[in-house]
Structure 1
Amino acid sequence: MRRFEDEDLTGAEFRECDLSGARLVGVVMQDAEIDGLVTGLVVNGVEVMPYVEAELDRRYPVRVLLRSDDPSDLGAAWRELQGDWATTVERVRSMPEGSERQGVDGEWSMLETLRHLVFVHDSWFRRCVLGVTEPFTAYGLGPTDVMDREPELDPSAEPTLDEVLAIRARHAAQVEEWLAGVTTEQLAQTAPVPDDDRWPPYARGRTVRQCLGTVLTEEFEHHRFCVRDLDKLSRNDTAPERSS
């Protein structure tokens, strides 16, 4: 166990770190921000996550639908998420040229985020929910180690927003059609993950509902992150000006 004592960590950033079981005792934490998978967080003796989760449900009612096992609820959630993305696409088109390629605070840009969701669809929906072994879409964007191991993925690709949106539209229609016919019993079945060494290898043994849940959660969370960063771009006016 690493122990930090009498350390000045002002302005420190912890990215992709596992802080499970961490204890912060006698600390000063002003204007701090935590964003991630947080459960059982106790602050000054109070377990705060139930309050956080309730507030997130109030702000984003779609989260309640995302937790449902009813196919009609999941279909409604999917349509709402796609509507939210459509609104955000129109927003970025109204911003200075190149805004979709601008990252904030080391995070993915909007275009990179959409490319990641292409990869999520290929891996968690097509492979895990449908059980197909079609190649990954070249424009998909995954973690660095996955980009290195999956030959179809092209790390050097520079697609336009419209090119990625065309792929996203096809993927969205595929999910919509599947949700229209799936049953609760089918959702509870073990996912038909292909028996090979392709990504994601740890999906075997999960249910169809769990794999679909990954797709839905990724769609929701990455949209939330994207809106957050577009807000920052708008406030800071850091996006490049449109050329005449």
Structure 2
Amino acid sequence: MRRFDDEDLTGAEFRECDLSRARMVGVVMQDAKIDGLVSNLEVNGVEVMSYVEAELDRRHPLRLLLRSDQPDDLREAWRQLRDDWATTTERVRSMPENSEHHGVDGEWSMVETLRHLVFVHDSWFRRCVLGLTEPFTALGLGPPLVMDQEENGLDPSAQPSLDEVLAVRVRQASEIETWLADVTPDQLARTAPVPDDDRWPPYAKGRTVRQCLGTVLNEEWAHHGFCMRDLDKLSRSRLGA
């Protein structure tokens, strides 16, 4: 266990770090931000995540649909997600040229975010929900480990335009919409037909179809929020705010 005593971590950034069971005693934490998979978090003896989750649900009612096991709710959730991305696409087109290729604070650009969602679709919907074994879409953006494996079909050197990525996204959205149109609660509850190989995602075996679909929906919602956050920052920086 690493221990930090009387350290000045002002301005420190922890990225992709596992802080499970971390203890912060006598710390000063002002103007700090925590963004990630957080559960059972106590602040001054109070478990705060129930408050955080309730506030997120109040701000984003779509989250309630994303957690539902009812096909009608999932269809509506997907419709809202697609509408949100369409609105954001129109927004970035109205911004200065190449805004879709600009990242903020080391985060992915909008195009990179959409490329990652192409990869998520191939991984968690086509492979895990449909049980298909085709290579991933070349312009998809996955973890470095997957990007370095040529047999996955990904092209690490790809630099697609926004329109090229959106064309793939339209095809993928049609796949999900067609599947959702007829899915039943029983089908959602079945064990996902994950192919028996060593390709990504390695921890999907044994999950239900609903859980695998949930990963797709949650990634769509979370990354849309990240994208909106960064477009806001990009707009403010260009206005000199």
- Cα distance, 1:150 vs. partner? 4.4
Q: Percent identity?
A: 78
TM-score with structure 2 setting the length = 0.97
Partner of 2:76: 76
Query: Which segment is superposed worse, 6-15 or 148-157?
Result: 148-157
Runs of 4+ in 1 over 3 A off after TM superposition: none
1:115-194 equivalences in 2 (<5 Å): 115-151=115-151, 152-194=153-195
| SS of alignment partner, residue 200 of structure 1 | coil
Give the drift of 1:196. Answer: 1.1
Is the CA contact (8 Å cut-off) linking 1:150 and 1:198 kept in structure 2?
Answer: no
1:196 maps to a residue whose letter is D
What pairs up with 1:161-240 in 2 under 5 angstroms? 161-237=162-238
Q: Which runs of 5+ in 1 are unaligned?
A: 240-244
For 1:180 and 1:82, how far apart are their aligned partners in 2? Answer: 15
Aligned to 1:12: 12
Shift of 1:173: 0.8
Map of 1:242 onto structure 2? none
Residue in 2 that maps onto 1:53: 53
Alpha-carbon distance, 1:205 to partner: 0.7
**Which amino acid letter does the alignment assign opposite residue 182 of structure 1?**
V
Distance between the aligned counterparts of 1:102 and 1:200, measured in 2? 28
Alpha-carbon distance in 1 for matches of 2:135, 2:142: 14
How big is each residue's C-alpha offset from its partner over 1:125-152, in whole Å with a ceiling of 9 and x where there is no partner? Answer: 0000000111110000001111012431
Q: Distance in 2 between matches of 1:16 and 1:176?
A: 32
- Contact kept in structure 2, 1:118 and 1:141, CA below 8 Å: yes
Deviations 1:179-217 (A, max 9, x none): 111110111100001111111121111100010000000
Matched to 1:99, the amino acid is S
Instruction: Give aligned pairs, total.
Output: 239
1:76 deviation in Å? 0.3
Higher RCO (CA 8 Å, separation ≥ 6 residues): 1
> Structure 1 counterpart of 2:95, which letter?
M
SS at match of 1:55: helix
Q: In structure 2, what is the Cα distance between the partners aligned to 1:215 and 1:98?
A: 27
Unaligned runs of 5+ in 2: none
